[in-house]
Structure formats: C-alpha cells, structure tokens
C-alpha cells in the first residue's frame, strides 16, 4: 500500500486490487466511480432544474454535444467524442431528443446527423445558468487553482488511453 493522508489507509472499494504495482490506481478508480455517479446524478437533476425533466445522462450529453459550437454532428462524431462503443445508446438518445423537439436530425451521405433546435439551445442555456449558480459557484468557493484542474483533466484523459489500451489487450487474452 502507498502512504495515505488518512490514518486508516487509502480509501478504495477493493483492497485486493490496491495490493498491486500501483496502489494509488485503486484510489483513482474509487474516486472516478464516485465522481461518475455524482456527475450523472447532477446532469439529470441539473437538466430537470433547467426545465427539461426525464432525460438520462446520455441524453443530456448528446444534447450538449448537439449544441456544441452550433455545428451539425454525426452519430459517429458523438460516439467518438464521448468514447461510446454502443452506437445504439446514442441513436436512442437522438430519437428521444428529437421527439422532444430539442434536436433535429438529418443525413450527411449515409450517416445520421443532429443539430440543436432553438428549444434545445434554450435548454442548454438554462442548464448553464443552473450549473453556474449551483455547481460552478461551489467549486469556485473551494479556491481550487484552475490550472491544476486543467492538469487533472489532462491526467484523466491520459489515463483513459491506458484503460482503452488495457481493454483492447484484455480482448486478446
């Protein structure tokens, strides 16, 4: 085990995994699991507070991706952006958002495309307002250095590549 700030040792969900080469990886995995679940809960409740209840976390992500830079996106663009293998999950979200008139769909060649509607852009704007008021203000109150947050984001992106590579290797075993 590695040294920990806690006298009880590192906070992990599976101590048997923390006995390996990189014990701190177990701390990261537990923190990511808890963060992932909190983030998903936030997205759903934040969008509901913005006036659009009933969306799943994937629905919220697809809506924001559709609104991103006010450019049309393809199904494969969104899957690549979020590292989602199962295109059916994103396609289902697109259908749901289209039925709610938050996005419109089209085609670019054989590929399905999406673009945010005015109602979808308004929902994203309201979500941003709720996010600024409830989440960003709390994070700002922690007095965390923004450069450090960006560094952590870079580290998480780098770790995602390691997990992707390990997943590909695991398939070949």
Q: Give the pTM.
A: 0.90
pLDDT tens digit sequence for 52-77: 999 999 999 999 999 999 999 999 99
pLDDT at 3: 56
Across the chain, mean pLDDT equals: 93
Mean pLDDT of 151-164: 96
Interatomic CA distance for residues 126 and 50, integer angstroms: 5
- Which domains, and CATH codes, for the chain? 23-142 (1.10.10.10)
pLDDT of residue 17: 86
Q: How far apart are CA 56 and CA 93, in angstroms?
A: 8
Q: 105: helix, coil or strand?
A: strand
What pLDDT is stored for residue 2 in this prediction? 47
SS3 108: strand
Radius of gyration of the chain (CA): 19
Which tens digit of pLDDT belongs to each residue from 76-95?
Answer: 999 999 999 999 999 999 99
Share of the chain above pLDDT 90, in %: 85
Residue 136 backbone dihedrals phi, psi, to 5 degrees: -60, -40
């Amino acid at each position: 085990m590695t040294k920990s700030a806690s006298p009880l040792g590192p906070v992990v969900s599976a101590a048997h995994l923390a006995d390996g080469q990189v014990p701190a990886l177990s701390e990261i995995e537990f923190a990511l699991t808890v963060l992932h679940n909190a983030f998903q809960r936030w997205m759903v409740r934040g969008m509901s507070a913005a006036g659009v209840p009933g969306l799943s976390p994937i629905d919220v992500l697809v809506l924001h991706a559709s609104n991103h830079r006010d450019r049309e996106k393809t199904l494969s663009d969104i899957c690549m952006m979020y590292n989602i293998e199962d295109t059916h999950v994103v396609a289902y979200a697109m259908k749901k958002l289209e039925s709610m008139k938050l996005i419109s769909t089209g085609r670019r060649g054989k590929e399905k495309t999406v673009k945010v509607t005015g109602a979808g852009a308004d929902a994203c704007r309201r979500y941003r307002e709720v996010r600024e008021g409830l989440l960003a203000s709390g994070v700002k109150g922690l007095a965390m250095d923004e450069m450090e947050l960006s560094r952590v984001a870079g580290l998480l992106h780098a770790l995602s590549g390691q997990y992707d590579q390990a997943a590909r290797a695991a398939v070949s075993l």
